[in-house]
Structure 1
Amino acid sequence: MPPPPPDTGPAPDSALPPEAERILSISGDVYFRGLPDGILTDVSASVLGVVGYPREALIGQPIAALYVNPDLRGAFLDTLRRNNGVIRDHPIQIRHANGRTIWISTSCHLLYDADGTETGIEGVVREITTRRETELQTRRQANLISALLDASRDAIMLIDRTGLLLAANRIFAARFGSTPEAIRGRNLFSMFPADVAAQRRQVVDQVIRSGQALHTRDIRPPLVLDNNIYPVSGPDGTVEMVAVFSSDVTEQVRAEDQNQSYIKEIERSNDDLAQFAYVASHDLREPLRTLISYSTLLEQRHAAALDEEGQEFLGYIRTAARRMNALIEDLLAFSRAGQDDCPDQPLDTGTLVQAVIDDLALLTAETGGRIHLETPLPGIMAAPAPIERLFLNLFSNALKYHRPGSAPDVRAGFSPETGHFYVRDDGIGIAPEHHARIFQLFQRLENADGSTGTGIGLAVCKKIVERLHGTLQVISTPGQGATFLFTLPLAPSPSAAPSPPDTSPPW
C-alpha cells in the first residue's frame, strides 16, 4: 500500500463535477491527473472500487507506487511519448490494497502548456483482470495448439469457407518459403497459380458441400503430397472451416517405385531360374540317361569280357551317373521350391503325410525302420506338391541317417502348445556346430553306410517353409537323434465362431 499522504488536511475536492463522478462510479472507470514527475494530483472517488484505496490515500503519491514492477513506469512513459503523447487501452499490472495482483487498462494523454512544455498526464483507467486472464489463457492455448501443430511432420492448415488462412504450422508455411505468422490471414487460393487454385477450390467446395472428408494425392514434381481434407462444423452443424493435413510422401513413393523395380528384377531372375530348371531337366539329363543306358548295356552284354578291375570301374560309372541324376533332380526341386503353379488351398495334412509315408515303403523296408504319426495333424493352407516334398525329404533323411545296426524309428506330429510340426528320429544326430550349416546348399553329412546325400534336400525344405512365411530349425545332439521343428500356415477352422467386435476405445 502507498505510504499515507502528509498531514496537510483533507484532500482537495475533485475537479470533476458530481455528475461525472456518478457516471464513473457506475461505469467502473477511474479518472486521474498527475504531474510530470508522476505524483497524483487528482483521482476520482471511483478509484476505491478498482484499487481498494480511497482517493485521499492516493493524491500526492507517486503513480509508480501502485505498479507491481515500478521500473515499468518509465517504459510506459517512453511508449506514450513515442505515440505523440496519446495511448489507448494500455495494460498495466498493479497491486490492489488487499495485496492481490490486478490488471488495469489506461487510456491517457500528456498535458502541455502554451510553450509546449510537458506539464502532466491525464486519463482514465478501468480494471481488466478478467479480460486479461482470458487473453492470457487464450494466448497460452494458441501457443499450445501452435506447438502441437509444429510437432507434426505433416503440413497442417485451417481455412474458412472462402479460403482465408486461419492457422498453419511451420512445415506448411515453409512450402511457401514463409512463416505461419506471415501467411496467416492470407487467402490460400491466391498463393497458387490460377489453374492450381481452381483445382484446390473445387476440392474444398466438395468437402464443404458434402460434409465428408476427402483424400487426394497431389503430384507436383519433384514432390508427391498425400492430403487428407476434413470439414469442421460449427454449433449448428454447418461446415464453417476446412482442415488440411498434407504429408510429403515423395521418399515413400520413390522407395515403392524402387521396390517395384526390385520385384521386377527378381521376377526376371526367377524366369531365368525356371529356364535353367527346364534346361537341367531336359538337356542335361539327356546325355546322362545315355550314359546310364550304355553302361547298363555294357554290363549286360560284355561283363564276361571285363576283368575284376573293369567291373569295378564300370560300377564307379553307374554310381557316379546315378548320383549326378539325383543331384540334377534335387537342383530342379530347389529351383521350383515354393513356386508351385497350384494356388494355396486347404490341405488335409494327415492324409497327405500318410501318402508320403506309403511312397517311402521301399526305403522303409530296406532300412528296417518305421514311420508313424504320433498326433493328428491340423489342416494347412498351401499347395500340395511342396508340402509332399517337405515331408518326403525329412522322412528320407531320418531313414538314411540312422545309427549302424539299429532300425530307424521316425515319428511325426504337431504340438498345439508351440504351433510346431515336428519330425523326430533316433538316428546318429547332428553336432550343434552343424545345425545352421545343414540348411545351406551342398552341405553334406555322412549316413550310416558312409555315403552322403546331394546336400540339397534340407535347403529345399527350408526354402519351402520360408516361402510360406514359416520357420524351420533342428534340435539335435550327436548319437541321440534329431528333431526338426517347423511352422506352416494353418487352415481356418470351419467351426470357429467369429470374434466379437472390438468396442474398446482406440486410444
Structure 2
Amino acid sequence: MKGPLCHADFDDLTALLREAEAATLLLDDTGTVLWANAAAGRDWPALARAGLRLPERMPGLALAGRTAHKVPWGADEARLLPLASGWAATLPAPASALSLRQVIDAIAVPLFWKDEAGIYRGCNPAMAEILGRPAEEIVGRSLAAVSGPDLAAKYAAMDEALMAEGPGGTQRYEWELAHRDGSRRQVLFCKANIPDAQGRVRGLVGTVLDITDLRQAERKFSQLFNLCPAVITLTDRASGRYLEVNDAFETVTGHSRAEAIGSTALGIGIWGEETDRAAVLAALAANGGRLTNFETRFRRRDGSVFPALIACEGITLVDRSCLILVGWDISAQKENEARLTQAVAALTRSNADLEQFAYVASHDLREPLRTISLYIGMMQRRLAASADADLRDFMAFARDGAKRMDRMVLDLLDYSRAGRAQTPPGAVPMAEVIEAALAILAVRIEESGAVIQGPAEDALVLGRRDDLLRLMQNLLANALKYRDPERSPRIAITARRQGGDWLFAVEDNGIGIDPAYHERIFQVFQRLHTRAEYDGTGIGLAICRRIVQERGGRLWVEPAPQQGSRFLFTLPAA
C-alpha cells in the first residue's frame, strides 16, 4: 500500500470502516484515493487502485488545516476528517437512494444479526416486536439476556453448528421464541453465515417466521385426521408411497403407521387382488383423477379381504402431486344387505305360498260349503211340509252358517290379495275413485237419506285404482252401516296436502267407536257388535289398512269433533 497511511494501523482502520453504512474514502495528504469501502459503490475501489487524486477531479478541494470540515460534493457536501496521516472522507448518499438500514427496517419479517460470540449486533423493528423488547434491550446483549438460559443453550448450539460450516453455510429449523411477557411462540429460523473479505465467518444473519397459528391448525387437523372413523391415506402420486395414514388405517387394516409410511399399498399387500388396484386406477383415469362412492376390496394384515367404499382425489402439496383417499369398511353393510336379500327372497316365497294357499283353501273350502248349502236347501224343500218348527230353524241356521263361512273365505282371500296386484302403481285422481265408490253405494245412500260432501281439492295420488276404490268403498259403507238411527247420515270427505303426501279424512255422524277399540277394529275378524245388530265378517277395515300400508301410508281412527268417527289415512302424492 502506498502513501503515508501505509502503516500498521491501516488494516485495523479499514477493518473498522469496511462494515460502515456510509460511503467512506481514505485519502493521503495529496488527496489521492487509497481505499474505498463497499458502501461507496463499485467504481471507487477501481479509482483507488488507479491512484485518482481528488483535487484533479474537484479543483478547490481543501486538504489543509488538519481540522474536520465539509467540502462541496455535487449538490451536497462531503465531510473530511483528519487522521494521524491523511484523511477520511465520508460521502453523502444520493438523494434518491435508500440506506441499507432503511431497507432492513422496512422489512415486515423479523430480522437480526449476531457476531461470532452470539451477541446481537442489530435487528429490525419486526424483530423487536416479536420479542416484545425495544431494540436497545436486544442490540449488544447476549442470547441468555434476551431469550433466557434454556432457549439460549439451544440457539448457541445451533449457531455454533452453522458457523462451523464456514462461508455459504445456511440453516433452517423450528424452535420456540420467548416474548418479554413470558409467552412463547413457535417460529421458523432461517439463518446464514456472514464472512469477511478473507473468508472468515464473522457472524450470522437470520429471519424469524411466526408459525404458531399454523402449527396449532396442523394439530387440530391432525386430531380430526386421527379421530375420523374412516380410513384416510395420503400418498405420493408418482411413487405410490404412503406419506401419512390415520389411526383408522391401523385399526381397519392391521398395518401400523410405521409399516405404511414410505411403503406402497402394493408393497404391504393392501389390495384385495391386483385386479382391484387396476380397477381403481382405471376409474381414476376415466374420471379425471377423482372418485366418489367407488367399491373395491382391501386386504388386512391377517390376509382377510373386506369390501370397502372409497373416495379419492389428486391434490398438490408443496409442489408435490399427491393422492388423498378416504375409505370405509362396508363389511357389516354387505352382510346386512345379504341378510336382507335372503329375507326378502324368503318373504317373497312365503307370500307366494300364502297366496297359493289362500287360493287353494278358498276353492277347496268353498266347494264343500256349497255342497252343504245345496243339500240343506234340498232337505228344506223336501221336508217343508212335514218338518216341525225346530227342524226348520235348525236347517235355516245350518244354511246361514254355510253362507257366512263362504263369505268369510272370500273375504280372507281378498285380504291376502289386498295391495298385492301385479300391475304397477300409477297416478290416480281420488275424485274419480270417490265418485265410483258413491255410484256403487248409490242404493244404500238413497235408502238411508245420507248427505255426502266430497273433498274441495282434487288429489292426485300414487296407487292402484282398484285398491283405492275398495278402500273408499269400505270406509263409506261402514259410515252408512254404523249410522245413528235417530238422524240422517252426514259424511264429509276432505283432502289436504301434507308434504309429499295427501291426508284424507272420512268423517261421519254415526254411533262412534270407543277409543279403547281404536286399534282392535283393524284386526282380522274383529267385531264390536253382534251379527244381529250389524252384518259383516269384521275384515273390511283390515283390508283398508293393508291397502294404505302397502303404499307406505297410515290409517287410523279418532273421534269426530261433534259425534261419530273420523277415519284418516295418508297416501303418497303422485
Q: Tell me the TM-score normalized by structure 1.
A: 0.73
User: Is 1:167 paired with 2:277?
Assistant: no
**Per-residue deviation, 1:450:** 2.2
Q: How does 1:302-317 map to 2 (within 5 A)?
A: 302-317=383-398
In structure 2, what is the Cα distance between the partners aligned to 1:223 and 1:200?
14
**Per-residue deviation, 1:148:** 2.9
Partner of 2:508: 425
User: Is 1:192 paired with 2:275?
Assistant: no
Contact 2:291 2:311 in 1 (8 A): yes
The one-letter amino acid paired with 1:211 is G
The one-letter amino acid paired with 2:280 is V
Q: Structure 1's 406 and 297: CA in aligned 2 closer, same or farther, altered over 3 A?
A: farther
Q: Structure 1's 310 and 405: CA in aligned 2 closer, same or farther, altered over 3 A?
A: farther
User: Is 1:70 paired with 2:153?
Assistant: no
User: What secondary structure, in the 3-state scheme, does the structure 2 residue paired with 1:488 have?
Assistant: strand
User: Is 1:230 paired with 2:310?
Assistant: no
Partner of 1:30: 114
The one-letter amino acid paired with 1:156 is I
**Per-residue deviation, 1:410:** 3.9
Contact 2:192 2:206 in 1 (8 A): no
For residues 123-149 of structure 1, what are the alpha-carbon distances to aligned partners after superposition, in whole Å with 9 as ceiling and x for unaligned?
A: 95544322xx14x44433332332232
Partner of 2:452: 372
In structure 2, what is the Cα distance between the partners aligned to 1:428 and 1:407?
12
Q: How does 1:225-374 map to 2 (within 5 A)?
A: 225-232=308-315, 240-364=321-445, 368-370=448-450, 372-374=452-454
Contact 1:288 1:321 in 2 (8 A): yes
Contact 1:413 1:422 in 2 (8 A): yes
In structure 1, what is the Cα distance between the partners aligned to 2:153 and 2:554?
79
In structure 1, what is the Cα distance between the partners aligned to 2:139 and 2:361?
115
**Per-residue deviation, 1:364:** 4.4
User: What secondary structure, in the 3-state scheme, does the structure 2 residue paired with 1:186 have?
Assistant: coil
Contact 2:555 2:567 in 1 (8 A): yes
Partner of 2:479: 398
The one-letter amino acid paired with 1:214 is L
In structure 1, what is the Cα distance between the partners aligned to 2:205 and 2:183?
16
The one-letter amino acid paired with 2:552 is H
**Per-residue deviation, 1:447:** 6.7
Contact 1:337 1:386 in 2 (8 A): yes
Aligned pair partner of 2:215 in 139, 143, 152: 139
Partner of 1:460: 543
In structure 1, what is the Cα distance between the partners aligned to 2:556 and 2:124?
89
**Per-residue deviation, 1:293:** 1.7
User: Is 1:384 paired with 2:465?
Assistant: yes
Aligned pair partner of 2:296 in 203, 207, 218: 218
Structure 2, unmatched stretches of 5+, are 1-11, 21-37, 39-100, 105-110, 129-134, 166-170, 194-200, 299-303
Higher relative contact order (CA 8 A, sep 6+): 1
The one-letter amino acid paired with 2:266 is F
For residues 373-401 of structure 1, what are the alpha-carbon distances to aligned partners after superposition, in whole Å with 9 as ceiling and x for unaligned?
A: 43354333322222222122222222222
**Per-residue deviation, 1:105:** 7.3
Contact 1:158 1:242 in 2 (8 A): yes
User: What secondary structure, in the 3-state scheme, does the structure 1 residue paired with 2:383 have?
Assistant: helix
In structure 1, what is the Cα distance between the partners aligned to 2:272 and 2:350?
45
**Per-residue deviation, 1:323:** 1.6
Aligned pair partner of 2:552 in 463, 469, 476: 469
User: What secondary structure, in the 3-state scheme, does the structure 2 residue paired with 1:167 have?
Assistant: strand
Q: Structure 1's 20 and 409: CA in aligned 2 closer, same or farther, altered over 3 A?
A: same
User: What secondary structure, in the 3-state scheme, does the structure 2 residue paired with 1:129 have?
Assistant: strand
Q: Structure 1's 282 and 176: CA in aligned 2 closer, same or farther, altered over 3 A?
A: closer
Q: Structure 1's 124 and 297: CA in aligned 2 closer, same or farther, altered over 3 A?
A: farther
Q: Structure 1's 303 and 359: CA in aligned 2 closer, same or farther, altered over 3 A?
A: farther
For residues 275-295 of structure 1, what are the alpha-carbon distances to aligned partners after superposition, in whole Å with 9 as ceiling and x for unaligned?
A: 121123200011111112222
Q: Structure 1's 79 and 357: CA in aligned 2 closer, same or farther, altered over 3 A?
A: same
User: What secondary structure, in the 3-state scheme, does the structure 2 residue paired with 1:219 have?
Assistant: strand
Contact 1:401 1:448 in 2 (8 A): no
Q: Which has the higher strand share?
A: 2
**Per-residue deviation, 1:324:** 1.0
Q: Structure 1's 478 and 269: CA in aligned 2 closer, same or farther, altered over 3 A?
A: farther
Structure 1, unmatched stretches of 5+, are 1-13, 34-39, 109-121, 492-507
Q: Structure 1's 419 and 164: CA in aligned 2 closer, same or farther, altered over 3 A?
A: same
Contact 2:272 2:306 in 1 (8 A): no
In structure 2, what is the Cα distance between the partners aligned to 1:217 and 1:287?
59
User: Is 1:183 paired with 2:266?
Assistant: no
The one-letter amino acid paired with 1:32 is E
**Per-residue deviation, 1:477:** 6.3
Percent identity between matched residues is 28
Task: Tell me the matched-pair count.
Answer: 446
In structure 2, what is the Cα distance between the partners aligned to 1:272 and 1:56?
97
Q: Structure 1's 393 and 197: CA in aligned 2 closer, same or farther, altered over 3 A?
A: closer
**Per-residue deviation, 1:344:** 1.4
Q: Structure 1's 181 and 70: CA in aligned 2 closer, same or farther, altered over 3 A?
A: farther
Partner of 1:148: 224
Contact 2:265 2:271 in 1 (8 A): no
Q: Structure 1's 31 and 416: CA in aligned 2 closer, same or farther, altered over 3 A?
A: closer
For residues 134-179 of structure 1, what are the alpha-carbon distances to aligned partners after superposition, in whole Å with 9 as ceiling and x for unaligned?
A: 4x44433332332232233221122232213233322124445455
User: What secondary structure, in the 3-state scheme, does the structure 2 residue paired with 1:128 have?
Assistant: strand
In structure 2, what is the Cα distance between the partners aligned to 1:137 and 1:453?
79
For residues 431-477 of structure 1, what are the alpha-carbon distances to aligned partners after superposition, in whole Å with 9 as ceiling and x for unaligned?
A: 11111211112220227952453221111111111111111121226
**Per-residue deviation, 1:369:** 4.1
Greater radius of gyration (CA): 2
Larger mean Cα displacement after TM superposition, 138-147 or 49-58: 49-58
The one-letter amino acid paired with 1:357 is L
Please tell me the root mean square deviation across aligned C-alpha atoms, in Å.
4.4
Contact 1:229 1:243 in 2 (8 A): yes
**Per-residue deviation, 1:28:** 5.4
